[in-house]
C-alpha cells in the first residue's frame, strides 16, 4: 500500500531542458513578445527600410557635395545599420511587451533556464538581421555602385553573422535595462539611431571628437561595420580576425551583461513582490 501511494505521488517538478526552452522561445516569442510574425513587418524591415534609409543618406551626401566613393561608403554603412530595427529595437521591446501582456510575472516564476530563454528569443531576430543586411548590401551593389568581389564573400558572411549575433546580444542587454524602466521605447529609439552618428555609418569615426569616438567603440555596430567594410575591401585574414574577435567579444559581453541584469532585477522583483515598480 505504501508503495502504491508512493508511486501515485506526483513527480517532482523538473526544469525544462535547455533545448526545449530555447526552441519554445524561438518559435513562440516572434508571435508574442517580439510581435514580429506579421508578414508586412518582416517584409518592410527586410526590403523597405534598408532601401529608403540608404536613399535618404545617399541624397544627403550628394547634396553635400560627396562623390561616388562617399555615397558608396554611406550605402554600405546604412545597409548594415538597418539591422538595428530587427536586432536592437524589437528585441529591446520584449520586456515592454511582457509587461503589457501581463506575462512578466509568470515568466519570472517559471523554472526555465534564462540563458536558453533569451538566446531562443534572439534566433528569429538574428535570421531577420541576416536577411536585412544581405538585402541592404544587394541594394548597395545594384543601386549605389558598391563593388563586392566574389572572393570576399566568405569573410563577408562571417562578418555579417557575427554582427547579427552581437547586435541581438546588445538588444537583449537593452531589454535587461528596460526591465527597470517605465518603458523601453525611449531606450530602443536612442540605440536604433545612435549608431548612425557614433558607429561610422555615414562618415569615418575619426571625424568625431575623441569622447564620441570612445562612445562609438562601446557599440557592437561599430565593430561589426568595421569588420564588414574590411571584408568587402578584401582585407587579409589577420586584421579581419582581430575585428571578428572584437565583434564576438562585444556580443558575448552584451549577453553576459543582459543575463546579469535580468538576474539582478529578478531578485529585486522577488524581494519586493513586484516587477512593475519603477
Q: Does 62 bind another protein (CB under 8 A)?
A: yes
Q: Which of 13, 64, 67, 238 binds another protein (CB under 8 A)?
A: 64
Write the binding mask 109 to 138 for another protein: x where contact by CB under 8 A, - elsewhere.
Answer: ------------------------------
Q: Does 183 bind another protein (CB under 8 A)?
A: yes
Q: Does 45 bind another protein (CB under 8 A)?
A: yes
Binding region for another protein (CB under 8 A) out of 114-122, 145-153, 167-175, 187-195: 187-195
Q: Which of 15, 17, 147, 207 binds another protein (CB under 8 A)?
A: 207
Q: Which is nearer to another protein, 65 or 273 (CB)?
A: 65
How many whole angstroms separate alpha carbon 277 and alpha carbon 105? Answer: 12
Q: Which is nearer to another protein, 26 or 135 (CB)?
A: 135
Binding region for another protein (CB under 8 A) out of 43-51, 139-147, 213-221, 241-249: 43-51
How many whole angstroms separate alpha carbon 118 and alpha carbon 120? Answer: 5
**Cα dihedral sign for 32, 273, 186, 125?**
negative
Among 129, 214, 212, smallest CA distance to 168 is for 129
The count of residues interacting with another protein (CB under 8 A) is 34
Quick one: CA torsion of 75, 199, 204, 143, rounded to 10 degrees?
0
Q: Which of 25, 53, 95, 235 binds another protein (CB under 8 A)?
A: 53
Residue 121 · residue 25 · CB < 8 Å: yes
Which residue, chain included where needed, has cell 562618415?
203
Which residue, chain included where needed, has cell 506579421?
38
Which residue, chain included where needed, has cell 552618428?
197
Residue 185 · residue 99 · CB < 8 Å: no
How many whole angstroms separate alpha carbon 226 and alpha carbon 29? Answer: 31
The CA-atom distances, in angstroms, between 260 and each of 104, 132, 250 are: 17, 29, 15
In the complex, least distance from residue 238 CB atom to another protein, rounded to whole angstroms: 32
Q: Which is nearer to another protein, 15 or 189 (CB)?
A: 189
Q: Does 24 bind another protein (CB under 8 A)?
A: no
Residues that bind another protein (CB under 8 A): 38, 40-41, 44-45, 48-49, 52-53, 55-57, 59-66, 182-183, 185-186, 189-190, 192-194, 196-197, 202-203, 207
Amino acid at each position: 500500500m505504501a508503495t502504491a501511494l508512493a508511486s501515485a505521488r506526483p513527480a517532482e517538478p523538473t526544469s525544462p531542458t535547455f533545448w526545449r526552452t530555447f526552441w519554445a522561445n524561438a518559435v513562440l516569442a516572434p508571435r508574442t513578445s517580439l510581435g514580429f510574425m506579421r508578414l508586412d513587418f518582416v517584409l518592410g524591415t527586410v526590403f523597405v527600410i534598408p532601401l529608403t534609409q540608404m536613399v535618404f543618406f545617399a541624397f544627403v551626401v550628394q547634396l553635400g557635395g560627396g562623390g561616388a566613393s562617399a555615397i558608396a561608403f554611406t550605402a554600405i554603412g546604412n545597409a548594415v545599420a538597418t539591422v538595428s530595427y530587427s536586432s536592437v529595437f524589437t528585441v529591446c521591446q520584449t520586456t515592454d511587451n511582457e509587461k503589457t501582456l501581463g506575462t512578466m510575472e509568470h515568466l519570472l516564476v517559471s523554472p526555465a533556464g534564462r540563458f536558453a530563454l533569451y538566446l531562443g528569443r534572439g534566433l528569429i531576430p538574428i535570421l531577420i538581421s541576416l536577411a536585412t543586411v544581405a538585402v541592404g548590401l544587394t541594394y548597395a551593389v545594384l543601386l549605389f555602385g558598391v563593388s563586392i568581389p566574389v572572393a570576399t564573400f566568405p569573410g563577408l558572411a562571417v562578418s555579417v553573422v557575427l554582427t547579427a549575433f552581437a547586435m541581438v546580444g546588445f538588444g537583449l542587454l537593452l531589454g535587461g535595462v528596460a526591465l527597470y524602466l517605465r518603458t523601453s521605447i525611449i531606450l530602443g529609439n536612442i540605440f536604433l539611431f545612435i549608431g548612425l552618428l557614433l558607429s561610422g555609418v555615414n562618415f569615418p569615426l575619426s571625424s568625431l571628437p575623441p569622447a564620441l569616438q570612445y562612445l562609438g567603440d562601446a557599440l557592437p555596430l561599430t565593430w561589426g561595420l568595421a569588420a564588414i567594410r574590411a571584408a568587402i575591401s578584401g582585407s587579409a585574414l589577420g586584421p579581419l580576425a582581430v575585428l571578428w574577435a572584437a565583434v564576438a567579444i562585444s556580443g558575448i559581453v552584451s549577453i553576459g551583461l543582459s543575463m546579469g541584469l535580468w538576474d539582478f532585477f529578478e531578485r529585486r522583483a522577488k524581494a519586493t513582490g513586484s516587477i512593475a515598480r519603477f
